[in-house]
Structure formats: C-alpha cells, structure tokens
Amino acid sequence: MIYRDKKWLLVMYFFYMAILIAGTYVFGKQALSGRPLYYLVLLLLWLGVAKNIWILEKRRRGK
C-alpha cells in the first residue's frame, strides 16, 4: 500500500508542509493587512492540513 511506503509518506508530508507554508504566507499577509475573514481561511487551512496528516498517520499504522 502506498501509505506504508516511507518514501511516499515523506513526499506527502513535504507536500502538505509546502501547502501550509505557502498558504500561511499568502493568507497571513492578507489577514494582517486588515481583512479579518482571512483569519478564518488560515484556521481552515491549518485544520485541513492537520486532518490530512492525521489520516496519513492512521493509514500508515494500519488502523
């Protein structure tokens, strides 16, 4: 299974971290410039990435 292969797991972690860093940069700039709706977008971005990493860990452990 692809989720138990350590190489693919590492690739997925880097992919999610790249999304998190880029999204935080872009949406954080918007939020700090006075657009409060982007704080909600940032929260949803962080929760989505955390959920996906949690699912990866769950599948990797076979539970």
Query: What pTM, to 2 d.p., does this model score?
Result: 0.76
pLDDT (tens place) for every residue of the chain, 63 residues total: 555 677 888 888 899 999 999 999 999 999 999 999 999 999 999 999 999 889 888 877 776
User: Could you please report the per-residue DSSP string of the chain?
Assistant: -GGG-HHHHHHHHHHHHHHHHHHHHHHHHHHHTT-THHHHHHHHHHHHHHHHHHHHHHHHHT-
- pLDDT on residue 55: 86
Q: At what angle do helices 37-61 and 6-32 cross, to 10 degrees?
A: 170
pLDDT of 51: 92
Rounded Cα distance, 45 and 23, in Å:
7
